[in-house]
Structure formats: structure tokens, C-alpha cells
């Protein structure tokens, strides 16, 4: 049994991934109550909204949980480039008789240089705070830890993991290229595209911190394989999207249960940063136009506006339907039932 499993008093080594816009208080609570670690993706919310979600989850479970925030370098507005991007997208908006946005505005807040967010977390004391795209400044990490909060970081390669270890985080999420959603890259231009089962043994050799495996894990046998390669826990996102407790809409669920699940791809054109989702026209057509891509998360506003226009016509070809390479294995079960099934599959795999 891993030290992390004992430390968090989990009965199963499963972390439900913090999927911004898809994870809910109900989903996280159900996973926690079933003996796993539930998570909330809160990076897309204001500090006040994030506080409210943490309070709601605290009221629903006395078990440990994880809340996740983005630690990207704050976006630099570049109006000329943003206008060029909107011009390139104009024919797509026209296809749905929709007006092109006048401008793209700003995007999500970052945890970097954000004392208000750090102070809120210190006050609310969620058991674990994880960061994607790097870390906030070292002082913020230390303040959280001094308040009794565990801090986790995400690494897609050894260099990122070494930087996280140097910052003395409490654990590292090892994210393979198979994972759905945003790549946790510190620098979006330097992706080594390492698969999880290559990444894990490399990190295990050079990193002394606990490791949480993420990327394409959908079944108990995959969890067992990750544990065998040195992971303490397995993080699963796509596996939970079809649970009734998730916030995924009907189109997302239908696509994930169709032949579309067989092909996922990574593109930066949806948000401004590389992310893996069910392949659609964003990946096949708009990906070819990325010469003028605005910064993350400003670019996201363009994609959201285009998706909203297409959705009026029951078209999901411009959606951010994030999913990992294990998408065809997703199961539509209540979270408690899925957890029970994963536990039994894991036991079978470990006993072989």
C-alpha cells in the first residue's frame, strides 16, 4: 500500500481528475464517499465562485478532496493578432449566420501573482490544491503548505518534475500524452509527447516524491499497470465524464458514446494551449490556421463563441469535448457504481 493512500485514508487508489466545466460537487462527493479522491476543476471560476464550490463540497463530505487551478503566465492582450484570428474564423461564424465577436476580452484568472486566490485557499483549507501549467510563485506554495494544505503539481516530462521537486510540492501528477484536456506543459511550445508508461519509470528513477499517474487510464487493469510502474495513485478523467453527476451536456455524452470516441487529437486552436479532445473541425480545419493564435485563455473565447453559434444548429463540430485516448472505454454509470466496478477490476488485476 502506498504512503499516499494511507496518508489520505483512501480505500482505493483512484483520483477523479479535476475537469473544469465537467467536474461537479456531486461527482467529487460521490467519488470521495466511495473511497477515492474527488476533485473540482476551479480554474475557470472567479475566486468567489471557487470559494463557494469548496464550501459546498466540504459540506457534502468529510473525506479529503482536491481542488485545481491554472498557473499559466497571465495572458498578454494583443488586439491586432486577436482581430486577425477573428477574421480567419469569420467564414465559420457565417456558416451559422452568427455575428463574429467584436473582441475577445480576457480569459480565466491565473494562480500566478494572485494573492487574493491564495488567501481564499488558506481560509477555506481544502485538503489538496493542485496546479496545472506550472506553479504560482514559491512564496504562495509555501503559504498554502504552512496552512496545512498539500500542494500537487503536474509534470509531462522529467524537467518539469525536477522543477516541481525543487519547489518542494507534496506530490506530482505524471501526465502522459494520452490524457484528455489540457496538456500540463509549463511551456506550451516544448512538448516531448511522452506516453504515460514511458514517463512513469523515468520519473520514478529521478524523483523521490509520490507520483499520481494520469493519461488514458480507464479500467482497473490500467490502474494496476500504473501502480506496477511506480505510481501511488491513478488519476482518471474521461472515465467519469459519462457519470450522471458530471456536467457534460447531451451532445458531449452522445459523441463520447459514438465512433467519434475512437479518434482524439491535440490542438491549441480551441483555447490557445495544446489540449486533447474528440476530433472535430477545430482539429481538422481550424488547426491549419494557427499562424495568428491569440494567447491562452483569450483564444478560448473565440472557440466558445463559435461553438455556441454551431450548437444553435445542433452542430458539435467546434466543441471542446475533451477526452483521452482511452475514450472508447468510457462507461455510463453512476459514480459510486463506477468506483465499485473499478475496485473489483483492480482486485482481479492485482491477484493475477
For residue 179, give Cα distances in angstroms to 215, 276, 291, 307, 341.
4, 7, 25, 22, 21
Query: Domains along the chain?
Result: 3-74+110-257+331-351 (3.20.20.70), 78-107+270-329 (no CATH)
The pLDDT confidence band at residue 76, using thresholds 50, 70 and 90, is: confident
pTM equals 0.97
For position 1, what pLDDT does the model report? 65
- Would the pLDDT of 128 be above 80? yes
Q: Answer whether the bond into residue 348 is a cis peptide, omega within 30°.
A: no
Question: Can you tell me the distance from the alpha carbon of 176 to that of 199, in angstroms, rounded to the nearest whole number?
Answer: 7
Question: Can you tell me the distance from the alpha carbon of 55 to that of 318, in angstroms, rounded to the nearest whole number?
Answer: 34
Closest to 116 (Cα-Cα) out of 40, 38, 45, 19: 45
The three cell numbers locating residue 21: 466545466
- Would the pLDDT of 277 be above 80? yes
- Would the pLDDT of 166 be above 70? yes
- Would the pLDDT of 279 be above 90? yes
For position 291, what pLDDT does the model report? 78
Provide the strand spans (E) within the chain. Answer: 14-16, 38-41, 65-70, 128-132, 150-155, 171-175, 181-182, 211-214, 233-236, 264-267, 275-278
- Would the pLDDT of 237 be above 90? yes
- Would the pLDDT of 228 be above 70? yes
Tens of pLDDT, residues 183-211: 999 999 999 999 999 999 999 999 999 99
> Mean pLDDT, to the nearest integer, of 275-301?
92
> Mean pLDDT, to the nearest integer, of 328-346?
98
For position 105, what pLDDT does the model report? 85
The three cell numbers locating residue 138: 514559491
- Would the pLDDT of 351 be above 90? yes
> Mean pLDDT, to the nearest integer, of 11-19?
98
The three cell numbers locating residue 85: 484570428
> Mean pLDDT, to the nearest integer, of 36-52?
98
What value does the mean pLDDT of the chain take?
Answer: 96
- Would the pLDDT of 49 be above 70? yes
- Would the pLDDT of 283 be above 90? yes
Question: Can you tell me the distance from the alpha carbon of 178 to that of 195, in angstroms, rounded to the nearest whole number?
Answer: 6
Closest to 173 (Cα-Cα) out of 154, 201, 192, 186: 154
Question: Can you tell me the distance from the alpha carbon of 313 to that of 9, in angstroms, rounded to the nearest whole number?
Answer: 48
For position 200, what pLDDT does the model report? 98
3-class SS at 213? strand
Given a contact cutoff of 8 angstroms between Cβ atoms, the answer to whether 29 and 60 are in contact is yes
Name beta bridge partners: 225.
none
For position 124, what pLDDT does the model report? 98
CB-based contacts of 236, cutoff 8 Å, min separation 6:
14, 15, 16, 17, 214, 217, 218, 223, 342
Strand 233-236 versus strand 14-16 pairing type: parallel
> Percent of the chain, pLDDT > 90?
94
Residue for grid cell 516544448: 190
Amino acid at each position: 500500500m502506498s504512503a499516499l493512500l494511507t496518508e489520505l485514508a483512501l480505500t482505493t487508489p483512484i483520483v477523479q481528475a479535476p475537469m473544469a466545466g465537467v467536474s461537479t460537487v456531486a461527482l467529487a462527493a460521490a467519488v470521495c464517499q466511495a473511497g477515492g479522491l474527488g476533485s473540482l476543476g476551479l480554474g475557470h471560476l472567479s475566486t468567489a465562485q471557487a470559494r463557494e464550490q469548496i464550501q459546498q463540497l466540504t459540506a457534502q463530505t468529510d473525506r479529503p478532496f482536491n481542488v485545481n487551478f491554472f498557473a499559466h503566465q497571465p495572458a498578454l492582450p494583443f488586439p491586432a493578432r486577436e482581430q486577425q484570428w477573428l477574421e480567419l474564423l469569420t467564414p465559420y461564424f457565417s456558416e451559422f449566420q452568427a455575428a463574429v465577436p467584436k473582441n475577445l476580452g480576457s480569459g480565466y484568472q491565473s494562480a500566478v501573482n494572485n494573492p487574493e486566490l491564495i488567501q481564499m485557499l488558506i481560509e477555506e483549507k481544502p485538503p489538496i490544491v493542485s496546479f496545472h501549467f506550472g506553479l504560482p510563485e514559491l512564496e504562495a506554495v509555501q503559504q498554502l503548505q504552512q496552512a496545512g494544505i498539500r500542494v500537487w503539481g503536474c509534470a509531462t516530462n522529467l524537467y518539469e518534475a525536477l522543477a516541481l521537486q525543487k519547489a518542494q510540492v507534496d506530490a506530482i501528477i505524471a501526465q502522459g500524452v494520452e490524457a484528455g484536456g489540457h496538456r500540463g506543459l509549463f511551456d506550451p511550445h516544448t512538448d516531448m509527447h511522452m506516453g504515460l508508461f514511458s514517463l512513469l519509470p523515468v520519473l520514478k528513477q529521478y524523483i523521490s516524491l509520490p507520483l499520481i499517474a494520469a493519461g488514458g487510464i480507464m479500467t482497473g487493469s490500467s490502474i494496476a499497470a500504473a501502480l506496477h510502474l511506480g505510481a501511488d495513485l491513478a488519476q482518471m478523467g474521461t472515465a467519469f465524464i459519462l457519470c450522471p453527476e458530471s456536467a457534460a451536456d447531451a451532445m458531449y455524452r452522445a459523441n463520447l458514446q459514438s465512433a467519434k470516441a475512437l479518434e482524439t487529437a491535440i490542438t491549441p486552436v480551441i483555447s490557445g494551449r495544446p489540449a486533447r479532445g474528440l476530433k472535430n473541425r477545430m482539429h481538422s480545419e481550424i488547426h491549419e490556421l494557427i499562424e495568428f493564435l491569440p494567447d491562452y485563455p483569450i483564444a478560448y473565447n473565440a472557440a466558445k463563441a463559435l461553438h455556441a453559434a454551431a450548437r444553435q444548429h445542433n452542430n458539435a463540430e467546434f466543441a471542446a469535448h475533451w477526452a483521452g485516448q482511452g475514450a472508447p472505454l468510457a462507461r455510463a454509470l453512476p459514480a459510486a457504481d463506477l468506483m465499485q466496478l473499478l475496485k473489483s477490476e483492480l482486485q482481479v488485476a492485482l491477484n493475477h
